[in-house]
Amino acid sequence: MTDRILVIRGGALGDFVLGLPALQALRAAFPHSHLELVAPATVLPLASRLADDLTPLERAEVASLFGDAGQLPEEIAGRYRDLDLAVLWLADRDGSVRASFQALNARLVLQAPAIPDEPGRHAADHLLQTLLPLGIVPSGPAIPMVQPGGLAREAAETLFRDMGLAASRFSPPASAAPVVAVHPGSGGVRKNWRPERFAAVVDRLERLGARPVVIQGPADEEPVRRVLAAVQGSRPTVVEGLGVEELAAFLSLCSAYLGNDSGVTHLAAALGIPTIALFGPTDPTVWGPRGPRTIALDGGRLALHRTGFGSPHSDNPMDAIDVEPVLEALKAIMHENR
């Protein structure tokens, strides 16, 4: 009998999205168990339908689980003593988190780091494999799925109208321009495609009759500024300051999405939006977004088959991705969605 389950999930938005299939499988296997999820506060809303309790990883008392197992405060010990199952999807290099739950008499502790231990295994499949000891056997590739709540969807539809964006992916007016979300940021500068190339795509999309919308996250001010500075046509609409569920709802109304290897890109793919993901330093076979309509353009692989790509002094494989293939991929994936 598995009555009390605790899942601790580290990492940012992209990592969290890739872990959703494993979390969904766990919930499905134990539908009547009390499941608590501990994860970064910014991503917790995406799991509101999967957990009975949502606890921010940043909460001060949670930090004690990462320290000396013999010094756990009674508040934490009383809450997590005698768990049936503790699932730790995070780096635990010194084993302190596992030791804490063993000290609290957890019946079973499963742990897996974010990075797959088998070369070429996708991160989402890697986390799902963690659950094999529970008899949860994957039936195929792990595909994340996100569905925004009704209130977030209503707010997004209002924002769409306020911004003069009449198109909706699900019920577009016949004469409406398709809305393409463009996210030029990521968690690292080397993972960003050149701003002037994003700007060139924005300009071409406008000439093709689409409405590009630039997505700006908390750390994206500089790449967005540089894209806007390089745009030759009219200034595209910029969407910023949205929480993760509101952003998901907004993206779900778009006709397509273009972005780097980022959490927002994983979110777009999990929503089922036609998604073009640009990769360079990271391997899309391991970290690529998964969704029903997703194309990953791998600059690293292109660079291996090309000499002198991008600037003569460039050592970033993102520079191997040209504007035209991106536009062709966008047009193809948008056409498939009609």
Average pLDDT of the segment spanning 50-55:
97
Same domain for 187 and 331, yes or no, is yes
Same domain for 287 and 165, yes or no, is yes
Separation of alpha carbons 95 and 130, rounded Å? 17
- The answer to whether residue 145 sits within a structural domain is no
Percent of the chain with pLDDT over 70: 92
- The answer to whether residue 180 sits within a structural domain is yes
How distant is the alpha carbon of residue 181 from its chain centre? 15
Same domain for 170 and 113, yes or no, is no
- The answer to whether residue 263 sits within a structural domain is yes
Tell me, what's the pLDDT at 309? Answer: 45
Same domain for 101 and 165, yes or no, is no
Average pLDDT of the segment spanning 33-60:
96
- The answer to whether residue 128 sits within a structural domain is yes
For 9-18, 218-227, 310-319, which range has the lowest pLDDT when averaged over its residues?
Answer: 310-319
Last residue of a domain, one of 134, 160, 176: 134
Same domain for 184 and 323, yes or no, is yes
Range of the domain at 203: 150-336
- The answer to whether residue 268 sits within a structural domain is yes
The per-residue pLDDT for range 187-210, each reduced to its tens digit, is: 999 999 999 999 999 999 999 999
- For the cut 90, the answer to whether the pLDDT of residue 170 exceeds it is no
Same domain for 261 and 318, yes or no, is yes
- For the cut 50, the answer to whether the pLDDT of residue 311 exceeds it is no
Residue 292 buriedness (CB in 10 A; 0-12 / 13-18 / 19+): middle
Confidence of residue 338 (pLDDT cuts 50, 70, 90): low
Same domain for 130 and 154, yes or no, is no
Q: Mean pLDDT across the chain, nearest whole number?
A: 91
Last residue of a domain, one of 104, 134, 164: 134
Q: Other CB atoms closer than 10 Å to residue 296's CB: what's the count? A: 21
What one-character-per-residue DSSP string does 96-160 give?
Answer: HHHHHHHHTT-S-EEEE-SS-SSTT--HHHHHHHTTGGGT----SS--------HHHHHHHHHHH
Domain CATH number, residue 69: 3.40.50.2000
Total number of domains in the chain: 2
Separation of alpha carbons 217 and 260, rounded Å? 13
- For the cut 70, the answer to whether the pLDDT of residue 110 exceeds it is yes
Confidence of residue 313 (pLDDT cuts 50, 70, 90): very low
Separation of alpha carbons 75 and 93, rounded Å? 25
Classified as helix, coil or strand, 89 is strand
